[in-house]
């Protein structure tokens, strides 16, 4: 499909109407649950929905809360530039779901905890708990404001995005608690899927059928699903995605407060497990829609890459450009897709605010101050407001300092692995001591931080990232512009070999082509393995052989035998009284 600068439509009044209606519905959901929950003032009701949630809404919320604007806008671009191998993440999601539902969930559920980091206090001591909570807070705040920044590539005013996102999320999180967050996520998930489907269906019509899209993608090298190269420096291969992706997403669905808080809010263990398996289907559907959108983008622009032709300034603007290009003539439909991207942002930020309030109350306030449930509920609401304002402020700061955002994204990527390692140590090995856990967590975090920051500074060379060819041979230019028939790769588009670039290469250290070029997906397994090894060695040197641990804090034989067992409908009234383990 040939493209010119003058052929792309602009946002009209109906697009804004659709977008604003989506925002108002999100706000009204928060108001509704605030009104309905006026008589339920307990902290458990606010943070966990009274532990009476059902599987389906929780499953949709689990999917929506980590399907951010990065998924809606960034994943299609990833497929457009690097191919459909991204879909292999669906295999990782299957592995992650089984591990989370059959190993982590039974432990968290029977302990009846609110914050996942309470477990670290029960299993080790308050210092491990506080360290884990602090790392989670840093990780989650950075994820929230980076998602807010990312949405600005749609062309909306950045400051308007920051203020609107922060205020809307803070509003319904503060008023309605977890119930408002979950049901708003359900609505926003439907918007995200609708936005993807609108693009895919229209692209299919433009390209005269899905077969043409598939054919163009095949000849363009985009159907690269089965790359079995074992090189750990290659950005995306079957092994990096299945192995590295499984570790990364287990750190999210297995131990991350934002996710665990949702499925332990279910009315019984059956509903909790079911929510995770339904979420797996949601992840499959969302990823498939995003990949199809990326393949549609390539098919349409296979002969005229907007980035190489300077029709967009950055690759992140390709998805909004595609939407306006093929849907601009349908009033309100582009607004639906932008609403889908914004729904991703809202779901991410709202889940983060609610989870941050939960861990702050449970891990820092309750262990030190004796307060009533009603007072704790008001404190949780105040913390939701505070964290919402912090996210707005940090997003505003990072918009003025580009390097801060990149550093924030690095921090988010490297915290999960070490945290997963310390939870696995606690649940699998009774011999691991508190000293071993702290040493392992600190060493693992410092190592992944070093590798992650080094990778951000130097970055891998293109022979490891494998960008696919892009062409401008079919572009239609205005009279003042010259046509181009150059076939360009992402390397030549993004990194021209100027004198400055050549000088930079001359000072590139050798370690940049080894450790710093490690696939970003292997940061999580690296952190997990280091924590496991260091924690075990230190524990053996500090009396671990005589360590006594209550069996409820470990993954038990019954947990392993009862894998895929959906007959357990015990509710939260039957969980163990674990206050005796808290320190």
Q: How confident is the model at residue 21 (pLDDT cuts 50, 70, 90)?
A: confident
CA 7 to chain centre: 34
Per-residue buried b or exposed e for 378-410, using 16+ beta carbons within 10 Å of the residue's own CB: ebbbebbbbbbebbbebbbebbeeeebbebbbb
Q: Which two tokens stand for residue 41?
A: 């003032």
Give per-residue pLDDT as tens, 307-339: 888 888 878 788 888 988 888 888 888 888 877
DSSP state of 488: E
State whether residue 156 is helix, strand or coil.
coil
What pLDDT was estimated at residue 562?
63
Weakest-pLDDT range from 106-120, 330-344, 398-412, 537-551: 398-412
pTM of the predicted protein model: 0.84
Residue with tokens 């999960």: 416
What pLDDT was estimated at residue 368?
82
What mean pLDDT comes out for the span 408-424? 81
Q: Is the pLDDT score of 555 beyond 70? A: yes
DSSP state of 468: P
Could you tell me the residue ranges of all domains in the chain? 5-572
Cα–Cα distance for residue pair 200/294, rounded to 1 Å = 9
What pLDDT was estimated at residue 564?
56
Judge whether 91 and 242 are in contact, CB under 8 Å: yes
Most confident of 172-186, 389-403, 470-484: 172-186
What pLDDT was estimated at residue 533?
95
Residue with tokens 């997963």: 420
Query: Which of 183, 172, 352, 343 lies closest to 256 in space, CA to CA?
Result: 352
What mean pLDDT comes out for the span 243-252? 91
* Secondary structure string (H, E, C) spanning 527-575: HHHHHHHHHHHHHHHCCHHHCCCCHHHCCCHHHHHCCCCCCCCCEHHHC
Q: Is the pLDDT score of 249 beyond 50? A: yes
What pLDDT was estimated at residue 543?
78
Q: Is the pLDDT score of 279 beyond 60? A: yes
Q: How confident is the model at residue 50 (pLDDT cuts 50, 70, 90)?
A: low
Neighbours of 2 (CB within 10 A): 13
Weakest-pLDDT range from 321-330, 424-433, 436-445, 488-497: 488-497
**Of 3.30.413.10, 1.10.540.10, 3.40.190.10, 1.20.1730.10, which CATH number belongs to 5-572?**
1.20.1730.10
Beta bridge partners of 301: none
Cα–Cα distance for residue pair 387/354, rounded to 1 Å = 9
Judge whether 426 and 396 are in contact, CB under 8 Å: no
Cα–Cα distance for residue pair 333/195, rounded to 1 Å = 8
What mean pLDDT comes out for the span 174-203? 82
């Amino acid at each position: 499909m040939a493209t010119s600068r003058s052929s792309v439509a602009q946002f009209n009044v109906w697009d804004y109407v659709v977008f604003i209606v989506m925002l108002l519905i999100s706000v009204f959901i928060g108001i509704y649950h605030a009104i309905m929950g006026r008589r339920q003032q307990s902290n458990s009701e606010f943070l966990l929905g009274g532990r009476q949630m059902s599987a389906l809404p929780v499953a949709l919320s689990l999917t929506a809360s980590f399907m951010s604007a990065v998924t809606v806008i960034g994943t299609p671009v990833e497929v457009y530039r690097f191919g459909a191998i991204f879909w292999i993440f669906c295999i990782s999601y299957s592995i992650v779901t089984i591990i989370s539902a059959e190993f982590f969930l039974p432990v968290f559920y029977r302990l009846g905890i609110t914050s996942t980091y309470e477990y670290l206090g029960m299993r080790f001591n308050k210092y491990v708990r506080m360290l884990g909570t602090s790392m989670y807070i840093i990780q989650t705040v950075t994820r929230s404001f980076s998602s807010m920044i990312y949405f600005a590539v749609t062309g909306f005013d950045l400051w308007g995005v920051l203020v609107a996102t922060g205020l809307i999320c803070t509003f319904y999180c503060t008023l309605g608690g977890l119930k408002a967050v979950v049901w708003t996520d359900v609505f926003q998930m439907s918007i995200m899927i609708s936005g993807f489907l609108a693009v895919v269906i229209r692209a299919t019509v433009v390209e005269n059928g899905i077969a043409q899209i598939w054919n163009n993608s095949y000849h363009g090298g985009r159907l690269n699903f089965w790359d079995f190269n074992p090189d750990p420096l290659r950005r995306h291969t079957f092994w990096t995605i299945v192995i590295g992706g499984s570790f990364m997403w287990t750190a999210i669905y297995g131990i991350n407060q934002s996710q665990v808080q949702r499925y332990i809010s279910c009315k019984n263990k059956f509903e909790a497990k079911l929510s995770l398996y339904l979420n797996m289907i949601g992840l499959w559907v969302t990823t498939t829609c995003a990949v199809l959108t990326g393949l549609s983008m390539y098919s349409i622009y296979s002969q005229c890459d907007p980035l190489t032709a300077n029709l967009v300034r950055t690759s992140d603007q390709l998805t909004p450009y595609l939407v306006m290009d093929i849907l601009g003539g349908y009033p309100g439909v582009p607004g639906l897709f932008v609403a889908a991207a914004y729904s991703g942002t809202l779901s991410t930020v709202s889940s983060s605010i609610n989870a941050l309030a939960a861990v702050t109350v449970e891990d820092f306030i309750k262990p030190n101050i004796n307060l009533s449930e009603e007072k704790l509920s008001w404190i949780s609401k105040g913390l939701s407001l505070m964290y919402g304002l912090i996210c707005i402020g940090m997003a505003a700061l990072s918009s003025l300092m580009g390097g801060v955002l990149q550093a924030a994204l690095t921090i988010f990527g490297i915290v999960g692995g070490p945290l997963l390692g310390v939870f696995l140590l606690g649940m699998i090995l009774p011999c691991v001591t508190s000293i071993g856990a702290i040493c392992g967590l600190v060493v693992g975090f410092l190592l992944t931080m070093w590798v992650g920051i080094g990778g951000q500074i130097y970055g891998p060379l293109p022979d490891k990232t494998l960008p696919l060819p892009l062409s401008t041979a079919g572009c239609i230019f205005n009279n003042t512009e010259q046509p181009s028939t150059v076939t360009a790769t992402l390397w030549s588009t993004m990194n021209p070999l100027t004198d400055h670039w050549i000088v930079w290469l001359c000072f590139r250290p050798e370690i940049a082509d080894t450790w710093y070029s490690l696939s970003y997906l292997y940061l999580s397994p690296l952190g997990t393995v280091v924590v496991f090894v260091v924690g075990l060695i230190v524990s053996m040197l500090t009396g671990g052989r005589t360590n006594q641990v209550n069996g409820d804090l470990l993954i038990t034989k019954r947990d392993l035998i009862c894998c895929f067992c959906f007959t357990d409908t015990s509710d939260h009234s039957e969980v163990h009284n674990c206050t005796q383990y808290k320190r």
